[in-house]
Amino acid sequence: MPMQCASANPCVDQVCDGGVCRDVFAAAACDDGDACTDDGCDPLGGCQHAPRVCDDGDACTSDACVGGACVAFPSAASCDDGDACTRDDQCLAGLCMPGAAKICDDGTACTADACDPATGQCTYPRAAGACALCAVPGGDAERFSASLDLSVPLGVDCPLVGGRAGVVLGARGALEGERQGCPACRAVVNGEVALSAEVTLCQGAAFSVTASGKFAATRNYGTTCDTDSCLLACGAAFCESERFTGFAGLGVSRFLGFQRRWRAGGATSTWGERAALEVGVRCGVAVGGEVRAEARQVATVDGGVGGSCEDCATSEGALVAGVEGTGGCAVDLRAGRWTTTLACPGCAWLGVEAELQSGEREGACGGATPSATSAPGATSDATVTTPCLTVGLGWYAVAAACEATLAGSCDAAGCDTDAAVARCTVLGGACE
């Protein structure tokens, strides 16, 4: 009978040579079925599965690998809009939105106060004006600030089904500003407001309503000059810049659960009384939906200053609606001291999201023609997965993990399937 040679190393084949098994290197296939790993074979360590790293270099996206392709999702992280004269920039709908503007003022009308966007440093070049001597009286500055942070929880016990129903109302706001007289002739206002309500019902349903917004406005007034005494005063003309970002959302979620246990017969032993046969079933599903609106507007208003100040408004908005659901089950069988468990805590996940984006430009805006655009779209993801199924009988157990994923997207040009993956793995033992 021929001698059988086999190697436990997937990178090595064994051949029979003169009655002795010898190793021969082979480029074994180490495909783990996951398109988001780079598979390879190490002669010493066997199959290697390195996770694929996704990074598009954009601070306003959260990158992940889906079906072998890198996908960028919008994030709400802090970012840098490239202008060193703004602070607290933040991502919104995949774009980096500028924060509050830095205020530069040297207290004299003899200079044109400005901020260098490359360095963030204030510059004060000499200003050309009607007053050659720049004899300026001191101007008063008025500052104000206010803030609010409120949370009100209300609730009541559920006497029939148990649990507690209630609502949590929240409100947060902040406002700060400064008004400077001559020679600055400037008014600055920055504000933020957020409202929220979270409602929980007795039967496990819950919904939340949130709304928030940030706004900033800077108004620079022109100056008038008495050429006889060379004294400056704030004029009526102004140039105002306005920025606004807003968010509003409505979310609904509900958990539906089922739990039942059956017993049949009974037996008495030295271990105590036990049921001859006992079966337990626990299943549940969590469903949720969300509708949210996002908006951003940047505007410049010319109040008679003219020159580089021109009426212009750029607005962008997005309306997003989505639903998702997650379900799972667990079944256990007990007969005497022997147990068998079949559990899948998160067997299936389904998510569908639709988005409508629009943008509009009004006014001169650097000589550009006013325009309006819109871009509808939809994305959907469905995953049926058993992160780990275990069947055990006494001390022996077998585990299996299976997963099927389908992801797609649609826009005005049509629909595409972004990813479709299905795989199963059987393990000789219990899940870790």
Amino acid at 118: A
Nearest to 336 by CA among 284, 253, 270: 270
- The answer as to whether 245 is a domain residue is no
Q: What is the rounded distance in angstroms from the CA atom of residue 22 to the CA atom of residue 19?
A: 10
pLDDT tens, position by position, 5-41: 766 666 666 777 777 777 666 555 577 777 888 877 7
Span of 105-114, 361-370, 386-395 with lowest mean pLDDT:
386-395
C-alpha distances out from residue 276 to 188, 262, 272, 341, Å: 79, 11, 12, 16
Of 387, 241, 248, which Cα lies nearest the Cα of 312? 241
The verdict on residue 104 lying in a domain is yes
Residue 37 within a domain: yes
The pLDDT > 90 percentage for the chain reads 10
Backbone angles phi, psi at 344, to 5 degrees: -145, 90
Look at residue 76 and tell me if it is in a domain: yes
Compute how many other C-beta atoms are within 10 angstroms of the C-beta atom of residue 86.
21
Residues 3, 40, single domain; the answer is yes
pLDDT above 60 (res 275): no
Q: Does the pLDDT value for residue 383 go beyond 70?
A: no
Q: Mean of the pLDDT values across residues 351-369?
A: 75
The answer to the question of residue 229 being in a domain is: no
User: Which of 2-11, 241-250, 324-333 is predicted most confidently?
Assistant: 241-250
Q: Give tens-digit pLDDT for 277-330.
A: 788 888 888 888 888 888 989 998 888 887 778 888 888 888 888 888 887 777
Q: Does residue 22 belong to any structural domain of this protein? A: yes
In the block, tokens 């598979």 appear at 39
Residue-level pLDDT at 398: 64
Is 196 a domain residue? no
Which residue, 347, 317, 316, is CA-closest to 329? Answer: 347
Over residues 153-204, the pLDDT tens digits come to 888 887 776 667 888 899 999 999 988 877 778 899 999 999 999 888 877 6
**Burial of 432 per CB tally in 10 Å (0-12, 13-18, 19+):** exposed
Number of folded domains that form the chain: 2
Contact assessment for residue 168 and residue 123, using Cβ atoms and an 8 Å cutoff: no
The Cα–Cα gap between 126 and 134 comes to 11
Strand-pair partners of 414: 411
Does residue 121 fall inside a structural domain?
A: yes
CA atoms of 45 and 404, how far apart (whole Å): 29
Reported as a pLDDT band with limits 50, 70 and 90, residue 2 is low
Tokens found for residue 189: 């206002």
In the structure, what pLDDT confidence band is assigned to residue 336 with cuts at 50, 70 and 90?
Answer: low
| 35 and 81 co-located in one domain | no
Cα gap 155→166, rounded to integer Å: 4
**Measured distance CA(121)–CA(377) in Å, rounded:** 42
46 in the same domain as 5:
yes
Q: By residue range, what is the domain housing residue 116?
A: 70-127
Q: Do 80 and 45 fall into the same domain? A: no
* Domain endpoint, select from 127, 152, 175: 127
- Segment 47-58 shows an average pLDDT of 81
